[in-house]
Amino acid sequence: MALIVQKYGGTSVGSVERIQSVAKRVRETVQGGNTVVVVVSAMGKTTDGLVGLAKQISPNPSRREMDMLLSTGEQVSIALMSMALQEMGQPAISLTGAQVGIVTEAEYSLARILEIKTERMQRHLEQGKVIVVAGFQGISSIDELEITTLGRGGSDTSAVALAAALKANLCEIYTDVPGILTTDPRLVPQAKLMDEITCDEMLELASLGAKVLHPRSVEIAKNYGIPLVVRSSWTDDPGTKVVSPIPKPRPLVGLEITKAVDAVEFDTDQAKVALLRVPDRPGIAARLFGEIARQNVNVDLIIQSIHEGNSNDIAFTVVKNALLKAEAVAEAIAPALRSHPANDREAEVIVEKQMAKISIAGAGMIGRPGIAAQMFKALSAANVNIEMISTSEVKVSCTIAPDDCDRAIQALCEVFEVEDSPVCANNIAIGFAAAQGAIASSNAPPVRGVALDINQAQIAIRHVPDRPGLAAQIFGVLAQKISASIQLFNPNAVVLSTIIPPAILPLLSHKPMQK
């Protein structure tokens, strides 16, 4: 007998008919010999409606009252779902987040789950009941019991966290699309359904704006190895499996705030090629990397940064023994790239023959800006100067001087409590050629999905001195001021820029940084 957590989104429970049809599916799952915990969202666009009501009363309502208000949407759904099940003769009980004991941080509107009590749920399950839990909400128990919410779209996170706490065999996310598509079908009608996607790929796509799954739910699935499926509540099609390797066991206490970093990786075999002042127009990167690819050179980090005027700097790293080839390509292309026809300044090629790359790997890096800040601070304390930075939801990588590598590894293993010996990234790096080899054997396409996020703003800080501690200082401030996502582009001696949600722009002061 399997324990299955099924989550139904707003459209799946958007009307009485939909609720009845979901109840039927739940009932059938039980009749198939399974124990079922159901998590539901608010009906249809209820949450948006509640936000609209609040805005009519206050342009800037208190976050506490917002959580009080928004949590009511899910409470309607659980009661109706439970009634629908009972009406079919299926014993069921609805529970709010507080009644279950979904304990969160004392942080309104974006709370992370600390722990989920399972005693009461176990008792009801043993009585043969289906439990219908309100998604998106929890309770903080620091001083007084306060209703909290997990952030918009957070019911997915409730469901996967419940699955982790109950050690469920499967978590199914039912939605109004057939599963995870290669891109947004409203923009690209040819978008295809994927049978399977890895948690890492999903995290990248989710944080880039694919709205199917709340990224934090994928983080939990990855950390606790929860078998996760995204499928349509309208059909019986199997949907998309979100898979991950079996993780190391971790405690269920501190569920969403456990270690974000599970490995420190390094690679001392890197060299850098930078093209300075290339024109800021379409086709430049395509030309450069097209030629590099034709020469069969593996490229690792690629960073483009804005420049004064209408030019860019593009820097990339390659393995040391490919440097000569890469440099030759860059030198050959540079003269043709004139950014200012008027003054005839040519793009300039700069090469660094030896550098090291150090990375922290895990889940939820962008969602937790404090992690990158912590990395930069540790490197700064070890007096390591960072050259290039690249961030993604599953990795933050910095290039540094090779002589600093040992110190950097030690510092990072210490702050992030990584006990295993750090992983040499040479063994796991997949460059262009390696990827092509892998594809030939597995016939998976090199690009698995494309996500669009139009809700981004960029801030750039110019004239940042190139010395240890500056990235740490800047990121420390950003992480402190905003708990929302920050995505770093490129720091170097000239500009450090980062992508943030536009809503938080006003929170950042315009005071110049201390040099």
Residues lying near Mg ion in the complex (CB under 5 A): 9, 153
Residue 152 interacts with ligand ASP (CB under 6 A): yes or no = yes
Q: Which C-beta is closer to Mg ion: that of 210 or that of 333?
A: 210
Q: Which C-beta is closer to Mg ion: that of 176 or that of 327?
A: 176
Q: Which residues, 6+ apart, have CB-to-CB distance to 454 below 8 Å?
A: 209
SS3 string, 281-297, reads CCCHHHHHHHHHHHCCC
Q: Min. distance of Cβ 218 from ligand ASP in angstroms?
A: 14
> In this structure, are residues 344 and 184 in contact, taking their beta carbons and an 8 Å threshold?
no
Q: Min. distance of Cβ 98 from Mg ion in angstroms?
A: 22
Give the ranges where 88-171 is alpha helix by DSSP (H).
97-100, 119-126, 155-165
Residues 98-137, one symbol each (x = binds ligand ASP by CB under 6 A, - = not), give: -------------------------------------xx-
Instruction: Find which of Mg ion, ligand ASP, none residue 154 binds, CB within 5 to 8 Å per kind.
Output: ligand ASP
Q: Min. distance of Cβ 46 from Mg ion in angstroms?
A: 13
Give the ranges where 365-458 is alpha helix by DSSP (H).
369-381, 405-415, 432-442
Instruction: Find which of Mg ion, ligand ASP, none residue 152 binds, CB within 5 to 8 Å per kind.
Output: ligand ASP
Q: Quick check: helix, strand or coil at residue 419?
A: coil
Interstrand relation of 113-116 and 228-232 (parallel, antiparallel or unpaired): unpaired
Q: Which C-beta is closer to ligand ASP: that of 135 or that of 449?
A: 135
444 vs 441: CA distance, rounded Å: 8
Residue 73 interacts with ligand ASP (CB under 6 A): yes or no = yes
Q: Quick check: helix, strand or coil at residue 445?
A: coil
Q: Which C-beta is closer to ligand ASP: that of 46 or that of 397?
A: 46
Q: Which residues, 6+ apart, have CB-to-CB distance to 500 below 8 Å?
A: 456, 457, 458, 459, 478, 482, 484, 485, 486, 487
Q: Min. distance of Cβ 50 from ligand ASP in angstroms?
A: 9
Looking at residues 154 to 193 of the shown chain, list those that interact with ligand ASP (rule: CB under 6 A): 154-155
| Residue reference for tokens 């390591």 | 384
Residue 381 sits at φ, ψ, to 5 deg, of -65, -30
Residue 14 interacts with ligand ASP (CB under 6 A): yes or no = no
Among 97, 153, 215, 491, binds ligand ASP (CB under 6 A): 153
Interstrand relation of 146-149 and 137-140 (parallel, antiparallel or unpaired): antiparallel
Q: Which of 312, 313, 306, 310 is nearest to 342 (CA)?
A: 310
Instruction: Find which of Mg ion, ligand ASP, none residue 476 binds, CB within 5 to 8 Å per kind.
Output: none
Instruction: Find which of ligand ASP, Mg ion, none residue 364 binds, CB within 5 to 8 Å per kind.
Output: none
The structure tokens listed for 335 are 């003269």
Instruction: Catalog residues that contact ligand ASP under the rule CB under 6 A.
Output: 9-10, 41-42, 47, 73, 135-136, 152-155
